[in-house]
Structure 1
Amino acid sequence: MLQYDQLPPGSSLIDAELPDLSGQPVRLSAFGEPFLAVMFICNHCPYVKGSIEEIVALARKFQGQVAFVGINSNDFERYPEDAPEVMRTFAQTHGFNFPYLLDEAQQVARAYKALRTPEVFVFDQARKLRYHGRVNDTPKDPTTVTDHTLQRVLEALLQGQEPPVTEADAIGCTIKWKPGHEPTVRIAST
């Protein structure tokens, strides 16, 4: 069975500085909100398209309490629908109220051991990882969602409680890696 390494719960925020849609650098550690949701998303993935309204609504609902940051790490040379100019259109079309950053070198996705879009990493006040995983249980089809996982996690954390789950497998497209940047795979014993 193939397995990929994952960032374990309790891990510290992996800081990075990436350009936003206007080319201005944004540092992950610069956000002052008590919680930080680092999301690996892109423009073309049907799972992102199916859950983006929920993501934007959560960013609005928790504004001032949770900083949301979207990161596109896809190889836009091979997938031009994820190019920066399309990122701008996608963000405008969906009313992004959070930064959408470009990880052109894919170093941030590799550091976070991210594999999918959408995939979320939630950090607390001490910038320790409290949740890693999906937005909801059926991100491709918002009409069939029965578990708004990210919302439940954020509500619990904001009430000073432990999150109901710390990990929930991200459901979505694989990150489109540049040749040679693919994540390390290991064979797990059964």
Structure 2
Amino acid sequence: MRTSSFLITALFSGIFATFSAAGEYNKVLKIGDKAPSFTPLPGTDGKSHSLEEWKDKKALVIFFTCNSCPTAEDYEDRVIRFTKKYSSRSVGVVAFCVNKIADDSMEKMKEKAEKKKFPFVYLRDDSQKIAKDFGASYTPEFFLLDQDRKVVYMGAFDDKNTEAEAKVNYLELATEALLKGDKIEKAETLARGCMIRYIRKRD
């Protein structure tokens, strides 16, 4: 009887530990986790970039996007304005594309970056490892990191895909709180957009 009780307790403890290891919506990370690092990855600017490049920034926004998602496209101007607004306040912004379809190729990424005059670095990861490490599921999906590069916010940019209808800018509120040393009231939200096109490995 004692053995059975022990096994049941151990089983539920293991299940609880599995679920508590991730966030409310993110299956990999939770708020307060150290953000995954990344080795040099190619950018649309013709250079390679690694996480160390932003080591002096007070905050860093990592987000996953692509060229082929209408929702991601709808957010481009909002992210451009955010980047320009916070660049003087020691906040870095880095975008990643991991989709492997033709519309999301490096060539197309370069065309997009040039057309929109992206003020942030736009990187490509053919291995898709960085997106998996962050537990990213959507384009766009945002992660705000503090100076210790711990995750302090993750999820959607704001509360509505249509900019005219958006009333709450989650990312901006979190960034302001972080820079002021205040508590981030809404630290995790559900990202929205197109699903990241992960390559499935067949047995």
> Structure 2 length as normaliser, TM-score?
0.82
- Indicate the residue corresponding to 1:66 in structure 2: 91
Q: Is residue 53 of structure 2 the alignment partner of residue 53 of structure 1? A: no
Of 122, 126, 134, which residue of structure 2 is paired with 1:112? Answer: 134
Please say which structure displays the higher CA radius of gyration. 2
**SS state at 1:52 partner:** helix
TM-score by length of 1: 0.87
Q: Which residue of 2 is the match for residue 35 of structure 1?
A: 59
Q: Which runs of 4+ in 1 moved over 3 A?
A: none
Does residue 144 (structure 1) correspond to residue 165 (structure 2)? The answer is yes
Structure 2 partner of 1:165:
186
Counterpart CA distance in 1 for 2:91 and 2:169 is 16
User: Could you say which structure has the higher strand fraction?
Assistant: 1
Q: How far apart, in 2, do the equivalents of 1:109 and 1:59 lie? A: 21
Counterparts of 1:147 and 1:97, CA distance in 2: 23
Paired with 2:57 and 2:45, the residues of 1 have a C-alpha distance of 22
Matching of residue 95 in structure 1 with residue 120 in structure 2 = no
- Unaligned segments of structure 1, at least 5 residues: 182-190
Cα RMSD after superposing both structures: 1.6
CA contact (8 A) 1:59 1:67 kept: yes
Per-residue deviation, 1:4:
6.3
Alpha-carbon distance between aligned partners in 2 of 1:23 and 1:105, rounded to the nearest angstrom: 18
**Deviation of residue 23 (structure 1)?**
4.0
User: Aligned letter for 2:62?
Assistant: V
Deviation at 1:54, TM superposition (A): 0.7
2:44 matched residue in structure 1: 21
Q: Select the structure with the greater relative contact order (CA < 8 A; seq sep ≥ 6).
A: 1
Looking at structure 1, the residues matched to 82 and 61 of structure 2 have their Cα atoms a distance apart, in angstroms, of 10
Question: 1: CA distance between counterparts of 2:47 and 2:98?
Answer: 17
Aligned length: 175
Greater helix fraction, Structure 1 or Structure 2: 2
Q: How does 1:74-85 map to 2 (within 5 A)?
A: 74-75=99-100, 79-85=101-107
Contact 2:177/2:183, CA 8 A, preserved across alignment: yes
Q: Kindly provide the amino acid, as one letter, of the partner of residue 88 in structure 1.
A: K
**How far, CA to CA, are the matches of 2:152 and 2:196 in structure 1?**
22
Contact 1:121–1:133, Cα closer than 8 Å, also in 2: yes
